[in-house]
Chain A
Amino acid sequence: MTKLFFVVLATSVTAMVVSCSKGTDNPAPAINYEKIAEGYVVGAGLKASIYSPSATLKTGYNKLYVALADSLSGASVTNASLSFLPMMDMQTMQHSAPVEAFGTADNTGLFSSAVLFTMPSGTMGSWTLRLNVQYSNKAGSFVTPIVINAADPATVKSFVSKADGKKYFIALIEPQKPKVGINDFELAVFQSASMMNFPADSSMTITADPQMPTMGHGSPNNINPVHVGKGHFKGKLNFTMTGLWHVNLKFYQQSAIADTANHFEINF
């Protein structure tokens, strides 16, 4: 009986080890993400795959991942430099959107960036996403049409600052999965310097006050978001119950009021 037990145990352990090692041999990257576009980076001899955490892109802050491969050998390429250029074509005019710079590839060969889509695709116009790549003295690009759905509730807001007269975009990044209790709170702020240029902004001081509009109450001990770099602000949001919350935001620039009219809705 005991012998049989050990035989079974040894067999199953071996099976587990075999299956594990098999998995590490396979270099398929980005299994956790959805592929949203794929194509050749014309001029660079590369094939690019663009991934997103969800299959549909929505207005607001979207993390995007790119995997590059040699278009002939299919080998993974990790020593390239990349940039995104989203473009909204509204026929009479075109504009881009705030973009975050790519870093170096991570250990699965993925390059990551983020794009703040400021409006949905539709009758107003359509989005394309251009990926520019420089790779060993070659440069090329891959352009793909993309569909941006309207996020409901909205996770991007804009206002013209009462302090400096410039337009700003505010993106809600966290909480992605709101819960009762203490939630990480993250915003990103971009200035709309021109139709094509949206630099990250660190000039704002922000206060956040979560309120339940149906009940007329808030929550205690929230921590206002403070700038942590590249236009990102982090704080804490406390929700004392489930339901619809309005995160009322106030923006100040050097203690002058920039905007007090915006809030994000969080419904869970």
Chain B
Amino acid sequence: MKKLLVLFSLAASITAMAQPSDYWPDSLRTVELQHVVVRVKEQSPKTNLYKFFTANKAAGTEDILARLPEISLVRRGNFGMEPTIRSFHSGQINLLLDGMKIHGACTDKMDPASIYIEPQNLKSIDVFTNGSGLMNGSSIGGSINMKLAEASCHDDSRFSGRFSSTYHTVSNGFTESLNLNYGAQKWAARLSGTYRKASNYRDGNGNKIGYSQYEKANFSGNFKYILSEYLSASADVLFDEGWNIGYAALPMDVGYAKARIGSLKLHYERPKQMLNKLQLKLYGNEVIHFMDDSQRPNLAIRMDMPGESRTFGALTEAQMQLAHHHSLLLKAEFSLTKLFASMTMYDNKTTPMYMLTWPHNNQAQTALSAEYSWQMDSLTKMQINSRIDYSAFRLTSEMGKDQFAVLGYPEASASFVLPSASVNLSRRFAKNFRAGITYTVNGRMPTASELYGFYLFSRFDGYDYIGAPDLKPETAHQAELSLQWQSKKLKLHTAGFVSNISNYISGKVEPAFQVMTPGANGVKIYRNTGTALMTGVEASVLFQPQPSWTLMTTLRYNEGRFETGDNLPMISPLKNVTSVKKTFENGWISAEAEFAAPQNKVSKPFGEQATGSYKLFHLRAGYQLTVWKKTIDLNGGLENILNEVYREHLDWGNIPRPGRNCYIQLAVSF
């Protein structure tokens, strides 16, 4: 720990003699979603690869995330899928919205922040693996930052927009979206709205999957004002309302889920100055999530499980070019998260049974982070990231404290100091070949559920989970090697990583405790259970023999083991996605194959089931035409053409994924 503090201060002091560079970290993946956006920084060559996936404008945020080789989604329903990075679960990664923390309000993780964002609200998704995510938060699995679309200014005041309508046959699902932009010279406003409705989908056998329906509406607005040549101010608001959301793999559904998100930002940018970028952001968000089983038949006892989450935060970021080849990014952030979730059970005969599943609790977090980049010579770059986090958790209600007193924790407060650091070295060894290594020492705080969860039932292993306020943070030593080969026609990238995790947080069976959920297998209490080792590789090939032909293929493999030799649960198996795309003057057509190997390396202590392999084939196409000076996009596709009955390994509850789906989208831009 002391060592890390030294490293941190070292990183800060080295930067005093630094210089500018347009270095972009190796382990960052960016998905560009809107062609209007031009990034200031030079993109990593492999970034182009991800643009490939976004050709399908009918895709939802989850569809886009699912294509990234680093990301797998934990699926509990047809909606609200939880992203994981390299099989690191949601507690081990950070999922941010434009740098803002949003804590889900569901004790069953049914509401990752990604569900509140529609693709048309998104500018890009940045996926950071390993140490490159340190600027976004202390985590051992990396981070995902979803950037919101911004209003664009125009010298000649201009009104523009896009309307699209999409239909999916498999779920009889509609998506209607509209976005409008008004750009003047000094200011701009962007409004967007999306409505989605899907019924129960059919699997490959043609069976309807009950409780897979959902309905939601999303509204977002961005207002930007140019204060001076270098300074701009902007405000964002986002409202998301979901209702009647089925969770096929869970015993409960979501009656409604509401998110209210707002932020104010001041942005200063002046190239070729020492301080070339400065940003200040204030934000707040509120998530209200109401889980119930009112739609499920024949239950002796009815249950409601509402949850609420509120976060307020501030962050400031400064980008400095200290000297010709030295640059420094500094960030300070503060956030306060208030959480609360309860459960009420009714049996019509006795007093309603009420308890706090997340007793009212506060998490205050303060962090300082620095990223120092040094172009050592024309071939070699170095980047040092460092971060220190202080966070304090406490219970704020008497009832919550009383509940934890039962477990032997009368105060149940916890605080953590977490230093992290990462060093990346990359060097070009030949004209087209570059290699990089990254070493990271980092950690993550226990989650609210791991600290304060009170008999939270997990359908995954059938245990009731109880938190432990005396948990230690998980810490990890991680190494990553990445190799790139890049020519005009061929771009290859491969990365391998090893992560040794200490104080791994996992549920331990507590035989003395009785289950609270009828039919549960037992009670587990979160404990630091020793060390675990996670390893994996990713590879991608982008081949463009001619400008109009593209072949893209990605491969990923992960493994995870406890020190006892038992496999970690929820590890994605080998997966390959291959696409061929041909572009024409007014359109494109693509054929895609997805292949996943069986996963037999399952966790015995968790009673995890093995999953079989699957093969999927998709055909997609797009056509663009201009009518009355308006651009009309027609997109369509046939997904899971062979009607494969399949599930991914991370899917809960043996629920098959959708069978053959035909979608069609009509979009008008004006």
Interface set of A (CB-CB < 8 Å, partner B): 179-182, 212, 214-221, 238-244, 267-268
- Whether B347 is near chain A, meaning CB under 8 Å from some CB there, is yes
Please give, as numbers and ranges, the residues of chain A lying within 8 Å of B347 by CB-CB distance. Answer: 214
In the complex, what's the smallest C-beta–C-beta distance from B439 to chain A, in angstroms?
A: 43
Closest 8 CB pairs of A and B: A181-B402, A243-B353, A241-B355, A244-B350, A238-B406, A242-B354, A218-B514, A217-B514
- Whether B405 is near chain A, meaning CB under 8 Å from some CB there, is yes
| Contact yes or no, B350 A240, CB < 8 A | no
Complex Cα–Cα for A216 and B512 (A): 15
- Whether B547 is near chain A, meaning CB under 8 Å from some CB there, is no
- Whether B610 is near chain A, meaning CB under 8 Å from some CB there, is no
What are 25 sample pairs from A and B whose C-beta atoms fall under 8 A apart?
A179-B402, A180-B355, A181-B402, A181-B406, A182-B405, A212-B353, A214-B345, A214-B347, A214-B349, A214-B350, A215-B345, A215-B516, A217-B514, A217-B515, A217-B516, A219-B514, A220-B406, A220-B512, A239-B406, A241-B345, A241-B355, A242-B352, A242-B354, A243-B345, A243-B354
| Contact yes or no, B354 A221, CB < 8 A | no
Task: Give which listed residue, B351, B356, B402, B518, contacts A182 with CB less than 8 A.
Answer: B402
Please give, as numbers and ranges, the residues of chain B lying within 8 Å of A239 by CB-CB distance. Answer: 406
Please give, as numbers and ranges, the residues of chain A lying within 8 Å of B351 by CB-CB distance. Answer: 242-244, 267-268
Beyond A214-B349, A221-B408, A242-B352, list 13 extra A-B contacts (CB 8 Å). A180-B354, A180-B403, A182-B402, A216-B518, A219-B406, A221-B407, A239-B406, A240-B455, A241-B354, A242-B353, A243-B350, A243-B351, A244-B350
In the complex, what's the smallest C-beta–C-beta distance from A130 to chain B, in angstroms?
A: 39
In the complex, what's the smallest C-beta–C-beta distance from B396 to chain A, in angstroms?
A: 15
Complex Cα–Cα for A216 and B301 (A): 12
Chain B residue at smallest Cβ distance from A237:
B406
| Contact yes or no, B518 A242, CB < 8 A | no
Given the interface pairs A181-B406, A182-B405, A215-B518, the reply to whether A243 lies near B352 with Cβ below 8 Å is yes
Interface set of B (CB-CB < 8 Å, partner A): 301, 343, 345, 347, 349-356, 399, 401-403, 405-408, 454-455, 512-516, 518
Chain A residue at smallest Cβ distance from B512:
A220
In the complex, what's the smallest C-beta–C-beta distance from A194 to chain B, in angstroms?
A: 39
| Contact yes or no, A240 B345, CB < 8 A | no
In the complex, what's the smallest C-beta–C-beta distance from A191 to chain B, in angstroms?
A: 33
Complex Cα–Cα for A267 and B353 (A): 10
In the complex, what's the smallest C-beta–C-beta distance from A144 to chain B, in angstroms?
A: 36
| Contact yes or no, B353 A214, CB < 8 A | yes
| Contact yes or no, A214 B408, CB < 8 A | no
Most A C-beta atoms less than 10 A away, residue of B350, B355, B454 = B350
Please give, as numbers and ranges, the residues of chain B lying within 8 Å of A238 by CB-CB distance. Answer: 406
Complex Cα–Cα for A240 and B401 (A): 12
Task: Give which listed residue, B353, B399, B513, contacts A181 with CB less than 8 A.
Answer: B399
Given the interface pairs A215-B518, A242-B353, A242-B354, the reply to whether A220 lies near B513 with Cβ below 8 Å is yes
Please give, as numbers and ranges, the residues of chain A lying within 8 Å of B407 by CB-CB distance. Answer: 220-221
| Contact yes or no, B516 A180, CB < 8 A | no
Complex Cα–Cα for A193 and B130 (A): 77
Task: Give which listed residue, A182, A217, A219, A267, contacts B350 with CB less than 8 A.
Answer: A267
Complex Cα–Cα for A218 and B516 (A): 8
Please give, as numbers and ranges, the residues of chain B lying within 8 Å of A217 by CB-CB distance. Answer: 514-516, 518
| Contact yes or no, B354 A240, CB < 8 A | no
Task: Give which listed residue, A182, A242, A244, A267, contacts B406 with CB less than 8 A.
Answer: A182
Chain B residue at smallest Cβ distance from A211:
B514
Complex Cα–Cα for A267 and B454 (A): 21
In the complex, what's the smallest C-beta–C-beta distance from B360 to chain A, in angstroms?
A: 13
| Contact yes or no, B353 A241, CB < 8 A | yes
| Contact yes or no, B355 A240, CB < 8 A | yes
| Contact yes or no, A242 B514, CB < 8 A | no
Please give, as numbers and ranges, the residues of chain B lying within 8 Å of A240 by CB-CB distance. Answer: 355, 403, 406, 454-455, 516
Please give, as numbers and ranges, the residues of chain B lying within 8 Å of A214 by CB-CB distance. Answer: 301, 345, 347, 349-350, 353
In the complex, what's the smallest C-beta–C-beta distance from A242 to chain B, in angstroms?
A: 4
Complex Cα–Cα for A242 and B343 (A): 10
